[in-house]
Amino acid sequence: MNAVGIDVSKSKSTVTIRRPGDEVVLAPRDYLHTQSSINDLIAVIHGLEGETKVCMEHTGRYYEQMASWLSSVGIFVSAVNPALIKEFGNESLHTPKTDKADAQKIARFALDRWAKLRQYSRMDEIRNQLKTMNRQFDFYMDQKTAMKNNLIALLDQTFPGANGFFDSPARSDGSQKWVDFVYTYWHVDCVRQKTLGGFAEHYRSWCKRKGYNFSASKAEKIYLTAADLIAVFPKDDNTKLLIRQAVQMLNVASETVESLRVKMNETASQLPEYPVVMGMDGVGATLGPQLMAEIGDVARFTKKGALTAYAGVDPRSNESGDYKRKSDPTTKKGSPYLRKTLFQIMDGLIKRSPANDPVYAFMDKKRAEGKPYYVYMTAGANKFLRVYYGRVREYLSLLGQDQGTEQ
């Protein structure tokens, strides 16, 4: 059997090929990420006698190109959690960190875990796309929040409190009533320079044009509030430009967020575990795809504890001799993106208090015992992942798609 260890970087990969007994078939050498160079590597692999498996770390995004290229020509490829490679075979105090050394270590790992290596598949490509979408979603959500705060700060100078007039949720295109309102009524004088009746009629026409509900009492409240406000900036073209530019930038970010939200749900629906995950309490059209994106294929975890460790919500044991720590903090070694999603799910469960939900009941029990907020929220996240693991593994097993491997 031939173990091909590949250490992937941005523009090149370092490759070595090993056989049992530490036999070197190919000494570590670099292959550029170009068609001609990769074709040379494919020719070398196809020329090997016996079964061949390629192993690489799924670090960042760079490995995806190499994994896709090699898989497309029928080569067995396995992308492994880099934490497992890091902890493997450290038998010397001298551990050089070079591309050649890493490639050799990956090849030795592949030989040692030969039977447990899981093949990279099209489903992995879908999961990678979903994960990338989720990272982009998180990025644009941060941008949206920053732009929203920027607009509110500007409104404090022209129309203080205008962002609080409406609490309507965002539409499918990302637009919100208060944002559309301040685009038209960007200064208090846009309201109070009219008569109450004149503003009410203007506001009615605006609601009809924009497709919002009109309320005479709301129009009166806005008018009376505006009449008593103090604006710092004058009502001129410069102020109008500042507010409208801020609104336009916020709308672009909001539209991007909503389109990604829809696309993530569509992509997640192609995954086999989608109906099970979406049926869990606390999971909806946004958090469900995010959860699946960050967990990936649950079959790669050998047990429930492996999944909670990946999320970093497992307690860190601390014992030595007669000493045993009474309260163990979580490891926080896993994905911060997954922990963020889990805490959003836990927050939703706390607010909705669903009856007969085991995760909420567990959190409520911890809360009744007087446990601090972070403790019962983390405990709930741990419990949720264990339930998730059991339900998804059982469902995949019924579908015949549960091929677990060590990750």
CATH number, domain with residue 93: 3.30.420.10
pTM comes to 0.75
Write down which residue in 245, 264, 283 finishes a domain: 264
Model pLDDT, residue 21: 86
Provide long-range contacts, Cβ within 8 A and 24+ apart, for 9-14: 9/62, 9/99, 10/62, 13/56, 13/66, 14/99, 14/100, 14/102, 14/103
Residues 335, 296: one domain?
Answer: yes
User: How distant, in Å, are the alpha carbons of 60, 200, 207, 300, 301 from that of 296?
Assistant: 14, 53, 44, 8, 10
Assigned domain for 337 exists: yes
Same domain, 353 and 258: no
Within this chain, do residues 93 and 163 fall inside the same structural domain, yes or no?
Answer: no
Scanning 20-121, the segments in alpha helix (DSSP H) are 35-46, 62-71, 82-87, 99-112
Residues 252 and 157 in one domain: yes
Domain count across the chain: 3
> 97: which residues sit within 8 A by CB, 6+ positions away?
none
Q: Decide: 192 and 226 in contact? Cβ < 8 Å.
A: yes
pLDDT tier at 69 (50, 70, 90 boundaries)? confident
Residue 193 DSSP label: T
Tell whether 257 and 279 lie within a shared domain.
no
Range of the domain at 345: 274-399
Q: Is residue 203 part of a domain?
A: yes
Q: Are residues 225 and 301 in the same domain?
A: no
pLDDT above 90: residue 386: yes
Is residue 373 included in any domain, yes or no?
Answer: yes
Residue 377 has pLDDT above 50, yes or no: yes
On whether the CB atoms of residues 127 and 297 are closer than 8 A, the answer is yes
Residue 373 · residue 83 · CB < 8 Å: no
Question: Tell me: the pLDDT tens digits for 311-355?
Answer: 888 765 544 444 344 555 555 567 889 999 999 999 999 999 998
Residue 406 lies in a domain: no
Are 285 and 387 part of one and the same domain?
yes
Q: Are residues 211 and 110 in the same domain?
A: no
Q: Is residue 405 over pLDDT 60? A: no
Query: In this predicted model, what pLDDT tens digit does every residue of 205-219 receive, in sequence order?
Result: 999 999 999 999 999
pLDDT exceeds cutoff 90 at 380? yes
pLDDT of residue 191: 96
Strand bridging mode 52-57 / 77-80: parallel
